[in-house]
Amino acid sequence: MKKTSKGEKISAAMKGRKLTEEHKEKLSKAKLGKARAESTKEKIKKTLLGQKIDTLKQDHPLILKTHNSRSHLTAENVKEIRDLYTNAKSNSIRKLAKEFNVSRHTIHSIVTYRTWNQL
């Protein structure tokens, strides 16, 4: 029988439970203003990207804008976003979204190659 850690036991016990709106609000207020350590930020980044983290740290090719004609970003912007996110430790999706004036979802989609992928 596999030994489960304390965190895994808690996770299994909490599976399927829904938080009330009041509880969600209290949790968000409790976390407000807390700065995360660099190691924590790296763990979050690895969690968000999953298995793709190993393939992302490479030179990102330019992709022509003709594939995404309605985009607010240019191919140079996309290349810069990927380079900044994967190669600089202090850059987060939130910071890049604010810098390029797009949503966090857009930045995440670009970094994970869901949009602006090589055709």
Residue 84 has pLDDT above 60, yes or no: yes
In eight-state DSSP terms, residue 103 is: -
Q: Tokens 């994970």 correspond to what residue?
A: 112
Task: Give residue 57's pLDDT.
Answer: 53
Yes or no: say if 62 and 76 are a contact pair by the CB < 8 Å rule: yes
89 within a domain of the structure (yes/no): yes
Q: Within 10 Å of residue 86's Cβ, how many Cβ atoms?
A: 18
Yes or no: say if 71 and 63 are a contact pair by the CB < 8 Å rule: no
15 within a domain of the structure (yes/no): yes
One DSSP character per residue, 68-97 reads: GTT-SS-HHHHHHHHHHHHH-TT--HHHHH
64 within a domain of the structure (yes/no): yes
Q: Count of H helices and E strands in the chain?
A: 7, 0
> How many independent structural domains does the chain possess?
1
Task: Give residue 119's pLDDT.
Answer: 40
Q: What pTM does this model have? A: 0.48
| Domain boundaries, position 23 | 6-111
Mean pLDDT of 67-75: 69
